[in-house]
């Protein structure tokens, strides 16, 4: 299903991706992911001067860290309405000083027309969800949005297709009388990864409801992404040797 929304320049069709997942995203994944986000990007975000760009902000994990730990302005780019709803609910509860520093862009980055707004950009758990053709539009858009010498941090997607089906159980979480649970099943499908998310809510008498949402992922190695980024002025950024992370800087003279 798609919703038609209107904008001054006309109308566009808005994706309803994450319509199922948004409800379960934070309750099942926030704890582990918050620690990961702080470990991967915390130091650089705290040093941001001109701004932090959170590409594919989702429910706001990176955005919230940036608002808490830096004094810089924050641009949260999130095209999916369901994820953006959680993000804005979270921003609504912030003190005014923080809310005044964050702008939410409800579009894919390459349609958001952002120019030199940040010296730190983060793609956390995003690049694996983008087909190569969309990645090709993303890199120059990040180049335009960053100031020269700015840094981009990308959480690396899976390097290759899974050899066999992988099932990852998400830790149960109690909310009052109910227990929320979930499972991710990753399997190879041609050149893509099929990621099926199953969620359930249990009460004393058993399962109350179950939901499923399927995503597609595209594997890419660090070397391949570096090769894609280089023509757009990005070079490896030394000092960030983490197997999960790709760190690059935008050359000052291109
Ligand atoms: C798996 S979610 C991750 C959300 C968040 N970064 C996190 O880790 O909690 C991927 C997000 O990227 C967003 N996204 C997809 N394509 C995008 C694009 N071209 N520009 C910006 N965001 C995009 C999706 O709407 C989705 O919310």
- Orientation angle between helical segments 21-46 and 81-92, nearest 10 degrees: 60
- Can you give the pLDDT at residue 241? 82
Does the Cβ of 198 fall within 6 Å of ligand 1? no
Domains of the chain plus CATH, in order, are: 3-157+220-250 (3.40.50.150), 166-217 (2.20.130.10)
| Nearest alpha carbon to residue 153 among 48, 237, 47, 217 | 237
CA distances from 164 to 19, 161, 185, 186, 240 (A): 28, 9, 10, 8, 31
Does the Cβ of 123 fall within 6 Å of ligand 1? no
Per-residue pLDDT reduced to its tens digit, 164-173: 999 999 999 9
124 Cα to the center of ligand 1, angstroms: 8
Candidate of 27, 38, 56 to mutate for ligand 1, largest count of ligand atoms within 8 Å of Cβ:
56
State how far the Cα of 78 lies from the Cα of 76, in Å rounded to an integer.
Answer: 6
Q: What is the DSSP code (8-state) at residue 31?
A: H
Type and span of the H or E element at 145: helix 132-145
Q: Is 99 helix (H, G, I), strand (E, B) or coil?
A: helix
User: pLDDT in tens for each of the 254 residues of the chain?
Assistant: 444 444 444 445 556 799 999 999 999 999 889 999 999 999 999 999 999 999 999 999 999 999 999 999 999 999 999 999 999 999 999 999 999 999 999 999 999 999 999 999 999 999 999 999 999 999 999 999 999 999 999 999 999 999 999 999 999 999 999 999 999 999 999 999 999 999 999 999 999 999 999 999 999 999 999 999 999 999 999 988 889 999 999 997 66
Type and span of the H or E element at 166: strand 166-175
Shortest-distance atom of ligand 1 to CA 25? 9
Does the Cβ of 53 fall within 6 Å of ligand 1? no
- Can you give the pLDDT at residue 16? 78
CA distances from 34 to 18, 143, 218 (A): 19, 27, 24
Q: What is the pTM of this model?
A: 0.94
Does the Cβ of 125 fall within 6 Å of ligand 1? yes
Candidate of 103, 111, 126 to mutate for ligand 1, largest count of ligand atoms within 8 Å of Cβ:
126
How many CB atoms within 10 Å of residue 74?
Answer: 28
Does the Cβ of 56 fall within 6 Å of ligand 1? yes
State how far the Cα of 199 lies from the Cα of 132, in Å rounded to an integer.
Answer: 29
Q: Given phi > 0 = left and psi -120 to 50 = alpha, else beta, which region is 119?
A: alpha
Shortest-distance atom of ligand 1 to CA 17? 25
Strands 178-189 and 166-175: antiparallel
Find the distance separating the first CA and the last CA of the chain, reported in whole Å: 42
Q: Given phi > 0 = left and psi -120 to 50 = alpha, else beta, which region is 219?
A: beta
Does the Cβ of 80 fall within 6 Å of ligand 1? yes
């Amino acid at each position: 299903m798609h919703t038609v929304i209107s904008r001054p320049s006309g109308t566009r069709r808005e994706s309803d991706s994450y319509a199922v997942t948004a409800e379960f995203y934070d309750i099942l994944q926030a704890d582990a992911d918050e620690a990961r986000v702080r470990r991967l990007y915390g130091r650089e975000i705290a040093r941001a001067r001109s701004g932090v760009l959170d590409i594919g902000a989702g429910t706001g994990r990176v955005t919230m860290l940036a608002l808490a730990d830096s004094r810089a302005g924050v641009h949260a780019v999130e095209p999916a309405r369901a994820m953006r709803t959680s993000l804005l609910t979270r921003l609504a509860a912030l003190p005014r000083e923080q809310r005044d520093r964050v702008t939410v862009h409800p579009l894919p980055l390459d349609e958001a027309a952002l120019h030199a707004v940040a010296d730190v950009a983060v793609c956390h758990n995003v690049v694996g969800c983008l087909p190569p053709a969309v990645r090709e539009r993303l890199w120059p858009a990040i180049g335009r949005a960053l100031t020269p010498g700015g840094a981009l941090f990308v959480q690396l997607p899976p390097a290759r297709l899974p050899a066999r089906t992988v099932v990852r159980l998400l830790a149960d979480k109690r909310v009052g009388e109910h227990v929320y649970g979930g499972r991710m099943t990753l399997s190879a499908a041609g050149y893509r990864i099929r990621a099926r998310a199953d969620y359930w809510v249990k009460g004393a008498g058993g399962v109350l409801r179950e939901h499923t949402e399927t995503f597609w992922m595209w594997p890419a190695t660090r070397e391949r992404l570096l090769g894609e980024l280089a023509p757009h002025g990005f070079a490896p950024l030394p000092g960030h040797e983490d197997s999960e992370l790709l760190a690059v800087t935008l050359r000052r003279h291109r």
